[in-house]
A and B are shown apart, each in its own frame.
Chain A
Amino acid sequence: MSKIDPIPPYQTHWDAGDLGCGELVMELMLRLRALQPGEVLRLTALDPGAPADIPAWCRMTGHVLRHCEPASHDFFIQRK
């Protein structure tokens, strides 16, 4: 994954607003569970910790961070 990878098509969008830390990843886990393997969720997360947390969370859980857009706070996460 890098920010220059193309934006993948996504099946759902979740605007998490200011949600961060454990509350963010807990809700993210539940929302990804609702998707089929291979489907992509576009996450918009404004929390300043999200750019560090989301890649780490993906590494731990095995979900794939396909693309991120720092300017728009968007993360495109593919369910494993």
Chain B
Amino acid sequence: MSKICVSLTFAKDNCDKATVAFVVANAAVASGQETLVFLSTEAVRLAVKGYADDMHEEGFAPLKQLIDNYLAAGGALFVCSPCIKKRGFDESQMIDGAQVVGGAKLVEFLSQGAASISY
């Protein structure tokens, strides 16, 4: 099993990129890879309860469904701690399965040989 990191920095400011990031993350976790989605800057909004419920890029499944499937399949979801603080959110507002982390937690995963793709 390899480690795969999907880094995402967009939310409703680019629904296309946000959606494709989770499509690829679904492919990774469904392929038996240890998969991490790292949400930073604007993308942290995707981990806020209810935010992604109305996001549906044409040609893809609704984003909430992609996120739910990803988490149910065992994918990890890291949310940048300073990025949520800057936007006035706290951990209590995050969806189940999201883990608020600092940079060290991400770097630890990457340092273990993870391949990364960014959106």
Contacts and interface: CB of A to CB of B under 8 A. Distances in A.
A48 B73 CA distance: 25
Interface of B is mostly: helix
Interface of A is mostly: helix
Contacts of B33: 60
A23 B27 CA distance: 7
B31 A23 contact: no
B27 A21 contact: yes
Given A57-B31, A60-B31, A61-B32, A23 B66 contact: yes
A26 B26 contact: yes
A22 interface: yes
B114 interface: no
A46 interface: no
A44 to B, nearest CB: 18
B30 A28 contact: yes
Contact of A23 (B26, B32, B73): B26
Interface residues of A, number: 13
A8 to B, nearest CB: 23
A29 B25 contact: no
B24 A29 contact: no
A25 B61 contact: no
Interface string B62-78: 00001001100100000
A26 B60 CA distance: 13
B22 interface: yes
Enumerate the 6 nearest inter-chain pairs by beta-carbon distance, A residue then B residue, closest first: A22-B26, A22-B27, A22-B23, A29-B30, A26-B30, A25-B30
Interface of B: 22-33, 60-61, 66, 69-70, 73
26 contacts: A21-B27, A22-B22, A22-B25, A22-B26, A22-B27, A22-B30, A23-B23, A23-B26, A23-B61, A23-B66, A25-B26, A25-B30, A25-B31, A26-B26, A26-B27, A26-B30, A26-B69, A26-B73, A29-B30, A29-B73, A53-B27, A56-B31, A57-B27, A57-B30, A60-B32, A61-B32
